[in-house]
Structure 1
Amino acid sequence: MRKIFFMAGASVIMAGLIWTASFLWTISTASSTPDLKAADVGIVLGASMWGDSPSPGLQERLEEALRQYKSGKVNKLILTGGLDDPTFKYTEAQGMQQYLLDRGIPAADILLENKATSTYENLLYSRSIMEDHGWATAIIITHTFHGPRALEMAEYLGYEEPQLSLVKSKVLSPWKSHSREVLAYVKWRIDRILGQA
C-alpha cells in the first residue's frame, strides 16, 4: 500500500513538473498575433507604478501602445489599472495617461479604467468600456510572458477574436516574472474550476 501511495504521489509531482515546464515554454516563446489587423481599440494592461511615474516595465507596454497607435492599428486606447498604493497620487491608468500625453497622444483618444486590481478585472472592466462605445474588436497590449493568460481570459470573457501585441521585456527579471506568471496562471485555472472567475 505504501508503495502505491508513493507511486501515485510521484506521478502527480511528475505531471505537475511537466505541466509547469510546458507553460514556462509557452510564456517564454509567446509572440504577438501574426498579421495583426486594425482594431477598434488597444487595451494596455496595467503594471506597477513607481511613485508618480510608470515603472520601467510598464513603460515598455506603453511604448508598444505608442507603436501600434502610430502605425494606425488602433486609434483609441483603454488604459486599465487601479491604485497600487493608497499613498500614490495616481492610479496605474492615470500614470499611463500622463506618459502618453507627454508623447503626443491626444487626450480624446485615451480612455481610463481606474478600478482594476488584476488581469481579469483589467479585461472585464475594459470590455464594459468597449460595450459603452460600441467597439467590438481589441488589441491587448502587454508583455510576452503575460500574453497567453491575458488571451485566455479575454476569450473566456467573450471578446471577439482578441489579438495580442506583445513586448519582450528588457528590464524585468525573466526568472521572477515567469515564476510569478506560472503561479498566477494556476490561480486563474483553479478559479475557473471553482466557478470564481
Structure 2
Amino acid sequence: MFVFAKLAMAVTSPLGASLLGGLLALLLSIVDRRRLAFWFGVLALLWLWFWSLPAASNWLRGYLEDQHPLMMVQAVPQAEAIVVLGGGVAPAGHGEPYSNLESGTDRVWHAARLFHASKAPRVRLTGGNDPDHGATSEAEAMRQFMIERGVSDRSIVLEQRSRNTSQNAAYSAEILAGAGDNRILLVTSAYHPPRAKGLFEAQGLEVIPVATDHEVLSRPLWRNLLPETSALDGSSRAIREIVGRLVGR
C-alpha cells in the first residue's frame, strides 16, 4: 500500500503527470502517431502551466486550508498532549552542526506557543530520519528548536521511527497510550489536517486539529495569473494530500 500510495502521488502531481504526458508524446511520435503525440504534448504543457498559476494553486490549497482556519491560541481547547508532525525542520546532515528551518517550521513554533499557554502539559514530536542524509531524526531536530523556544525538555517525548503521516499516527499512538493520553492537539500545516486528523482518529485518539502555516494570501489579481515555481510546489503538496486521502480510504 505504501508503494502504491507513493506511485499514485508521483503520477498525479503536476510535474509527474506532465513528465508522463511528455513521455507518452515522445513514444507516440516514435511509432508515427504524430497527431496524438502533439495533443499529449500540448496537454502535458497546459497541465504544468495551469498548476503553476497562483490562482489555481491558491484555489486548491484554499479548499484544504479553509477546513481548518487559523485559531488563536486563547481559543484552543485544553488537551492532554500536543502532537507535532514532522515536515518543518530538516535534521542536520552528517558533519553539519545545525538543523535547517523550513517553511513548515511554524508547526514547531506554534506548538511552543500552545505549551506556554498551558494548553497541554506534554509535547510529542514525531518524525524519523533518512540515515543517508540526516545525522539525527526530525523529531530530535524539532526538540532542539523547542528547547530554544523555552519548552521544558522534561515535557518532550520523541517518536523517531516514522517516515510518513500514517506512521506518525501509529507510532505516536503507542507513546500516547503508554502515558495515558488520549485527547491531543494535533499541530501541522494548514493544508494537512484533513488527512492527518483521520489517520490519528483511526488510532482511537480524540483529535483537535490546530492548523498553522497558512499559505493562501491576498494578492493583486495580475500576480495570480503569472506562473510561479512556488505555486507549482503548493499545488503539488495539495494534490498529494487529496490523493493521499483517497488512497488511504
Deviates further, 21-30 or 66-75: 21-30
Q: Residue type of the partner of 2:77?
A: K
Q: Taking structure 2 as the reference length, what is the TM-score of the superposition? A: 0.61
SS at match of 1:145: coil
Q: How many residue pairs are counted as aligned between the two chains?
A: 171
How many angstroms does 1:43 deviate by? 0.4
Shift of the 125–174 alpha-carbon distance from structure 1 to 2, 3 Å rule, reads farther
Cα gap change, 1:32 to 1:134, in 2 (>3 Å): farther
Match of 2:212 in 1: 167
8 Å CA contact 2:91, 2:138 repeated in 1: no
Task: Look up the match of 1:17.
Answer: none
RMSD: 2.7
- In the alignment, which residue of structure 2 is the partner of 1:153? 199
Q: 2:65 aligns with which of 1, 5, 28?
A: 28
Partner SS state of residue 112, structure 1: strand
Q: Percent identity?
A: 25
Partners of 1:176 and 1:72 in 2: CA distance: 35
TM-aligned CA distance change 1:147 to 1:178, over 3 Å: farther
Distance in 1 (CA, whole Å) between partners of 2:61 and 2:104 is: 22
Q: Which residue of 52, 65, 80 corresponds with 2:111? A: 65
1:116 aligns with 2:162: yes
Q: Do the aligned partners of residues 191 and 98 (structure 1) sit closer, same or farther apart at CA in structure 2, a change above 3 Å counting?
A: same
Residue 240 of structure 2 is aligned with which of 183, 186, 197? 183
Trace 1:11-160 onto structure 2 (pairs within 5 A).
24-29=61-66, 30-32=68-70, 35-47=75-87, 48-49=89-90, 51=92, 52-160=98-206
Question: Which amino acid letter does the alignment assign opposite residue 63 of structure 2?
Answer: T
Query: 2:81 is aligned with what amino acid?
Result: V
Work out the CA distance in 2 between the residues paired with 1:44 and 1:136. 15
What is the distance in 2 between the residues matched to 1:55 and 1:183?
22
- The superposition leaves residues 22-76 of structure 1 with CA deviations (integer Å, 9 ceiling, x where unpaired) of 9644313232569421100000000150534143224211110011011111121
Confirm or deny: 8 A CA contact 1:31 1:166 kept in the other structure.
yes
Q: Distance in 2 between matches of 1:31 and 1:65?
A: 16
